[in-house]
Amino acid sequence: MTLNRSTTVQARSASKWDLTVFQNPLACRWCLFVGLLLSATAASSADSDELNTRGASQLFATKLQPLFVQKCGGCHGASANELKGEFDMRSRAALLRGGESGEPAIDFKNPDASPLLLAVRWDGLEMPPKENDRLSDEQIDWIRQWIAAGAPFSGGGNARVADDDWHEPDVDGAIRVKTSGGTTEQWTNRRYDPKDLWAYRPLAKVDVPWSALRDDEPRHPIEAFIRQELQKKKLRWAEPADPRTLIRRATYDLTGLPPELTALAAGSENKSQPATTEASAFGSWVDEYAALLDRLLDSPHYGERMAQHWLDVVRYADSNGFARDEFRPSAHTYRTYVIQSFNEDKPFDRFIKEQIAGDQLGLAGQDALAFLWMGPWEHTSMSVAAVTRQLWLDDVTNSVGVTFLGQQLRCAKCHDHKFDPIPTRDYYSVQAIFADTKHNEKAGHFKIASQKPQSIHILPGGSLDNPGEQVAHGVLSLLEHTAGHAAADVDKGRRAMLANWIADRRNPLTARVIVNRVWQMHFGRGIVATPNDFGKMGADPTHPELLDWLAVWFMDNGWSIKKLHKLIMTSPTYQRGNQYKHVAQASESSARAIDPSTHSLARRARMVDPNNELLSYFPSRRLSAEEIRDSVLAISGELNRTIGGPSVYVEINWEVAFQPRRLMGKIAPPYQPSPNRADRNRRSIYAVRIRNLGHPLMEVLNRPGSEMSCERRDETTVTPQVFTMLHGEFVHERALALADRIAKQSDDADEQVRRVFRAVYGRSPRAREAELAAQHLNRLITLHQEHEIKPKPLPTSVTVENIIERTGEPEYKKFNLKNLANYENDLQPWEVGPKTRALADLCLVLFNSSEFLYVY
């Protein structure tokens, strides 16, 4: 029962200084009373159904009155002359009078037939009319009980819902939050369920629950937290993954590239499983694994992998987007800055300060500040200057909130935040931080500089047409108490103040947000499943104590992301096998778990924790778009591993490259991949990102767009992926390159098969696989011998159709493809014989197989 939970949280919160708690001395008593009462009704047994008047009054005060205000007040309680259906819910008398039908909304003789009740049940009338707003069964039952008990308005009198007199001390553990104040008093005095405010509380000092681990087990703090929750649900956990699986998992997690064969070979020698309880048997593997993690963290490819996550969040692109989609020639310096920062293990608090106020704090230059203009933006002759300035202000305000604080500040742009304690005033206060920042564009180059601050006004409804009250710059007012010290730097500039506040230990959001992002990189889901939204509408943390413990540990360890990876990856939690069957195996092989229900443990895990939120096994994942492209190149031996630098024009589907693309007033020239093969074969993170030009292979594999921040990639399974992976030129060319390399190493078919399997899977084929593959090669060689192919030259020009604006007639414009004239082409099928083509088919099949595409 939520009320009981609220009580305990409130008792704890009373000693905190961050939230203003209006506490009535009687509150706890009442709360217990109401809690018990509602617990009884929640069981919905007929015998405990009745409420007495006092209980009903309390129910009204704690639950129904806020519910009526929230769900009905807009149309039936705002003011006397704006009532819909002439129905007024602001007083008991009005409810009894009813609406335009003249029928009372409450029927005391037959409460179940009360029009009010019928309406909220959507029986006849449908109220509230929006599906999203519909009352829950529990809420409807409150109304039913309340009517049955005489429908008392609070105190038995005629208290008015819209009036102030419901601001009585809270009796249900709900709390009010001190902010700079909303646009209405109702909002300002709004009450929150404490569990929706967890993210704003100071980090709790949590003790590791060591007792969750047996004495003979490795003492890893993360495992202790995870096991505590598993045990609460009486769930078992999977046995450790085998070393090969773990090496592959760790290597992709930290570099986004496939493991070296030598690393896998070393893993294969360690047949013993790392976490059997006899320490001596796996001692050497533990050391080897730790050494592997160190090597991976030291790899320059680590920074590329991490930067990919970060660029998703900040929406990196090489162009402006919108109508002209102007190129941004200096955007890449930000990407290199991010890669280097992760490679250097730059303390995260410094990373924050550099991106928000590197100039004002004397820490970094324009490279880092590019964060402030990463979003889509443009100013053209069609634009209104004030509107484009506002476009940037809105973009940067929300971006800072989402990226560093896990707060969707945009929600407070037009009105006070509907769910979180963020008044619209705060939105504009944060926006005013940027009022002294000039954001200049010249031919795609941006520069962040200082200017005389413009005045910032609240814009009701978000519209520039009717500016409201002017606001001063500031931080989120509900966390203002954590900002006091930041004022010290106020003379350095407003952004300096903001950066200092965000990057401060006392800010309860910052460390939680980044720790959660890193956790998600490893487990596919954060402890909070919505890394960009830590507010009420975001997900609740599955392991709140672990999150706080990690956040504190992270800051105590110098805000080091690399140390955090190592902490997570050395945990038994991270090293588990990935199957329910491993859960069952764990119990079957364990002498302590001989228990008649052993074999049903896997089923139990599926029932109790269907989404594996409690991590009884390791969640597998598909490789991301970039990992797939990079891996295919790495395996074919073609990957160019250069780090950093300007964006490169990688291959894209030719039809898309040559497809006419309309920009404001012109047709964009065709996309021409770099003539230099080594340039095309760079890692995907360096592929130029033009906002209005897609890369079909990347997009079909769920690379997000660059308009909105992406907190977590989707992982869909759709048919167009088949076309791309099975027919697309890119994968075919890589398969052919790999086949050609292997064919040159050996002309023995069996050896070729072994080499293909080792290259793609990092292991030799099983006997059955070797047999199938050999048969396949034989058949395919015959088919290729029978199929004659002709060389297909590259085009030297492309003619695109344009519609002339003046006439609406088509015109044809010819573009010469200069890059293709001296194009260093990839190996083509007509340049090799049928045997190599058949071997390429085998490579293609393996590139399309789940063993390659998934990390377990």
Residue placing its CB nearer to other proteins in the complex, 113 or 726 = 726
Torsion sign over Cα 220, 225, 230, 234: positive
Residue placing its CB nearer to other proteins in the complex, 38 or 509 = 509
Could you tell me the maximum CA-CA distance found in the chain, to the nearest angstrom? Answer: 95
Let me know how long the chain is.
Answer: 856
Q: Is 109 in the site for other proteins (CB under 8 A)?
A: no
* List 15, 280, 719, 822, residue binding other proteins (CB under 8 A): 719
* List 705, 750, 815, 816, residue binding other proteins (CB under 8 A): 705
* List 12, 219, 727, 818, residue binding other proteins (CB under 8 A): 727
Residue placing its CB nearer to other proteins in the complex, 221 or 728 = 728
Strands (DSSP E) contained in 26-143 are none
Q: How far apart are CA 396 and CA 439, in angstroms?
A: 11
Residue placing its CB nearer to other proteins in the complex, 262 or 807 = 807
Phi, psi of 649 (to 5 degrees): -90, 90
Task: Please spell the DSSP secondary structure of 273-317, one letter per residue.
Answer: -TTSS-HHHHHHHHHHHHHHHHHHHHSHHHHHHHHHHHHHHHT--
Residue placing its CB nearer to other proteins in the complex, 205 or 792 = 792
Contact 672, 823 (CB under 8 A): no
Residue placing its CB nearer to other proteins in the complex, 494 or 689 = 689
Torsion sign over Cα 473, 478, 481, 486: negative
* List 470, 766, 799, 833, residue binding other proteins (CB under 8 A): 766
Binding-residue total with other proteins (CB under 8 A):
110
Q: How far apart are CA 643 and CA 660, in angstroms?
A: 32
Residue placing its CB nearer to other proteins in the complex, 322 or 348 = 322
First-to-final CA distance of the chain: 38
Instruction: Tell me how far, at minimum, the Cβ of 578 lies from other proteins, in Å.
Output: 8
Binding span for other proteins by CB under 8 A among 100-108, 343-351, 748-756, 807-815: 807-815
Q: Is 803 in the site for other proteins (CB under 8 A)?
A: yes
Tokens matching residue 694: 């897609």
Binding mask 412-451 for other proteins (x = CB under 8 A): ------xx--------------------------------
Instruction: Tell me how far, at minimum, the Cβ of 123 lies from other proteins, in Å.
Output: 16
Instruction: Tell me how far, at minimum, the Cβ of 595 lies from other proteins, in Å.
Output: 22
Residues numbered 594-623 forming contacts with other proteins, rule: CB under 8 A: 610-612, 619-622
Residues numbered 565-594 forming contacts with other proteins, rule: CB under 8 A: 578-581
Binding span for other proteins by CB under 8 A among 69-77, 213-221, 222-230, 846-854: 846-854
Give the bridge partners for 449, in sequence order: 438
Count the Cβ atoms, other than its own, within 10 Å of residue 12: 12
Instruction: Tell me how far, at minimum, the Cβ of 711 lies from other proteins, in Å.
Output: 9
* List 46, 810, 814, 822, residue binding other proteins (CB under 8 A): 810
Best CA proximity match to 19, nearest among 410, 315, 421, 352: 421
Residues numbered 376-405 forming contacts with other proteins, rule: CB under 8 A: 376, 380-384, 386-387
Binding span for other proteins by CB under 8 A among 202-210, 218-226, 446-454, 847-855: 847-855
Residues 424, 428, 433, 437: what is their CA dihedral angle, to the nearest 10 degrees?
Answer: 150
Phi, psi of 23 (to 5 degrees): -120, 130
Residues 6+ apart with CB under 8 A from 799: 812, 813, 814, 815
Instruction: Tell me how far, at minimum, the Cβ of 716 lies from other proteins, in Å.
Output: 4
Q: Is 664 in the site for other proteins (CB under 8 A)?
A: yes
**Contacts made by residues 52-59, CB under 8 angstroms, sequence distance 24+:** 52/149, 53/149, 53/150, 53/152, 53/156, 55/149, 56/145, 56/146, 56/149, 56/150, 56/151, 56/152, 57/152, 57/154, 57/155, 57/156, 58/30, 58/33, 58/34, 58/171, 59/34, 59/142, 59/145, 59/146
DSSP code for 189: T
* List 139, 330, 560, 653, residue binding other proteins (CB under 8 A): 653
Residue placing its CB nearer to other proteins in the complex, 334 or 377 = 377
Q: Is 726 in the site for other proteins (CB under 8 A)?
A: yes
Q: How far apart are CA 674 and CA 593, in angstroms?
A: 61
Instruction: Tell me how far, at minimum, the Cβ of 790 lies from other proteins, in Å.
Output: 8
29: left (phi over 0), alpha (psi -120 to 50) or beta: alpha
Residues numbered 768-787 forming contacts with other proteins, rule: CB under 8 A: 768-769, 772-773, 776, 779-780, 783-784, 787
Binding span for other proteins by CB under 8 A among 130-138, 167-175, 229-237, 358-366: 130-138
Instruction: Tell me how far, at minimum, the Cβ of 158 lies from other proteins, in Å.
Output: 32
Residues numbered 821-840 forming contacts with other proteins, rule: CB under 8 A: 829-830, 837
Binding span for other proteins by CB under 8 A among 54-62, 222-230, 258-266, 527-535: 527-535
* List 15, 110, 132, 822, residue binding other proteins (CB under 8 A): 132
Residues numbered 683-702 forming contacts with other proteins, rule: CB under 8 A: 692-694, 696, 702
Pairing of β 470-471 and β 456-457: antiparallel
Residues numbered 307-326 forming contacts with other proteins, rule: CB under 8 A: 322-323
Contact 520, 526 (CB under 8 A): yes
Q: Is 540 in the site for other proteins (CB under 8 A)?
A: no
Residue placing its CB nearer to other proteins in the complex, 181 or 829 = 829
SS (H, E, C) 589-631: CCHHHCCCCHHHHHHHHHHHCCCCCCCCCCCCEECCHHHHHHH
Contact 535, 405 (CB under 8 A): no
Q: Is 669 in the site for other proteins (CB under 8 A)?
A: no
Q: Is 851 in the site for other proteins (CB under 8 A)?
A: yes
> Is residue 231 exposed (0-12), middle (13-18) or buried (19+ Cβ within 10 Å)?
middle
Q: Is 660 in the site for other proteins (CB under 8 A)?
A: yes
Binding span for other proteins by CB under 8 A among 84-92, 216-224, 375-383, 672-680: 375-383
Residue placing its CB nearer to other proteins in the complex, 102 or 610 = 610
Residue placing its CB nearer to other proteins in the complex, 362 or 610 = 610
Residues numbered 728-747 forming contacts with other proteins, rule: CB under 8 A: 728-729, 732
Q: How far apart are CA 476 and CA 400, in angstroms?
A: 12
Q: How far apart are CA 701 and CA 233, in angstroms?
A: 36
Residues numbered 236-265 forming contacts with other proteins, rule: CB under 8 A: none
**Which amino acid, 23?**
Q
Instruction: Tell me how far, at minimum, the Cβ of 106 lies from other proteins, in Å.
Output: 26
Residue placing its CB nearer to other proteins in the complex, 244 or 353 = 244
Residues numbered 454-513 forming contacts with other proteins, rule: CB under 8 A: 464-465
Cis peptide, bond prior to residue 460, ω within 30 of zero? no
**How far is CA 93 from each of CA 100, 105, 158, 738, rounded to the nearest angstrom?**
15, 10, 7, 82
Residue placing its CB nearer to other proteins in the complex, 353 or 732 = 732
Instruction: Tell me how far, at minimum, the Cβ of 677 lies from other proteins, in Å.
Output: 19
